[in-house]
Amino acid sequence: MKKYTVIFLLIGTFINAQSSAETYIKRFAKTAVGEMEKYGIPASITLAQGMLESGYGNSDLANRSNNHFGIKCHSSWTGERVYHDDDAKGECFRKYESPWWSYRDHSKFLQKKRYQGLYQYDQKDYKSWARGLKKAGYATNPKYPELLISKIEKYQLWRYDYMTNQNIDGELDGALAATFKQGGNTPPPVVPTTPTTPVVTKPVTPTKPVVSNEPHTVHKHRTGKLPYVIARNGDTWDKIAAEMDIKIKKLVEYNDVAIDRAVIPGQYIFLKKKKSRAKEKYHTVQPGEDMYRIAQKHGVRLGKLYEKNLMRIGEQPNVGDVIYLKKKKKKK
């Protein structure tokens, strides 16, 4: 009986770890990709560090300070702080208003002179980045690179190094399904970068995006099982309307746009009228998001979203703001 109890406990621990990892990736993948585009740090490295340093966002330090990267105060820090036992007892750590500010501070922290050697590596060469972080003194654990690489490969975080802010909304669910439901695959091979003298090359003429003629797959959104498709290169409102047998006037109405607004590859195109409220209660604004993107992400009518949050049409939120998705925000 003891043998079976131990087995069940191990299975339960594994399932909890998988669930925590999936929740963490779903919550912060877009932020990591946004930081990658702005600062050049691989999204896989940022996510792996966040998961490792914060215990998937569940550590005591993360809960008390929103510090997901174990960044200590140092002499330059003038913000709020908390004290936590780490290499020594009662060390000073930075405290943030939200985890998203922790992500931004992590990006800025890696702009310091001692980390500049990291940027000679290819953005998809996560192994060199992991080893470079240890070499630059980010962590004292001698196995730090192996711990990061293990997380990146176990949870296929390398997938996010190939994404952009424009397409992650359309690709995130598929990436999570491939990792946690289908077993996924091995990462594309990346030849480790060897630092060299910069070579001047002739400009390459950009190739035209590949336009698919395959029928769109109709998905069901978590909010009210709304049917939607994911826009691809070459899509137009006319093309999607004709394929789905919907009047173009209705299609643009369902998606809160004017007919002359371009279709962006990766965005959700709803095939029925969106809901007045979402499944989730709140949304915290991440870099690169505006009210329209948030409305599309959650399947909520744009006008209703503005109304719930006591905002004027066209007004945009700041990064870190909490957007109400179900109930109306109370007046102060």
Domains of the chain, earliest start first: 2-68+100-164 (1.10.530.10), 219-324 (3.10.350.10)
Per the CB < 8 A criterion, the answer to whether 76 and 190 are in contact is no
- Is residue 4 pLDDT above 50, yes or no? no
Please name which of 24, 190, 51 lies closest in space to residue 123, comparing C-alpha atoms. 190
Considering only CA atoms, give the Rg of the chain: 22
Tell me the per-residue pLDDT of 108-163, one tens digit each, with 9 for 90 and over: 999 888 999 898 888 889 999 999 999 999 998 999 999 999 999 999 999 999 88
Q: Averaging pLDDT over each range in 18-22, 82-86, 219-223, which range is the top one?
A: 219-223
Please name which of 89, 34, 24, 15 lies closest in space to residue 54, comparing C-alpha atoms. 24
User: 43 vs 12, which has greater pLDDT?
Assistant: 43
pTM over 0.75: no
SS3 (DSSP) at 248: helix
Tell me the per-residue pLDDT of 240-256, one tens digit each, with 9 for 90 and over: 999 999 999 999 999 98
Please tell me the distance from the alpha carbon of residue 137 to that of residue 321, in angstroms, as a whole number: 34
- Is residue 67 pLDDT above 90, yes or no? yes
Share of the chain above pLDDT 70, in %: 84
Share of the chain above pLDDT 90, in %: 48
Mean pLDDT of 248-276: 87
The label of the residue with tokens 């006037």 reads 249
Task: Provide long-range contacts, Cβ within 8 A and 24+ apart, for 233-239.
Answer: 233/209, 233/265, 234/209, 235/263, 235/265, 235/269, 236/263, 237/263
Per the CB < 8 A criterion, the answer to whether 283 and 322 are in contact is yes
DSSP states of 18-30: HHHHHHHHHHHHH
SS3 (DSSP) at 235: coil
The label of the residue with tokens 């931004």 reads 104
Q: Quick one: DSSP state of residue 40?
A: -
User: 32 vs 190, which has greater pLDDT?
Assistant: 32
Give the distance from CA 70 to its chain's centroid: 19
- Is residue 197 pLDDT above 50, yes or no? no
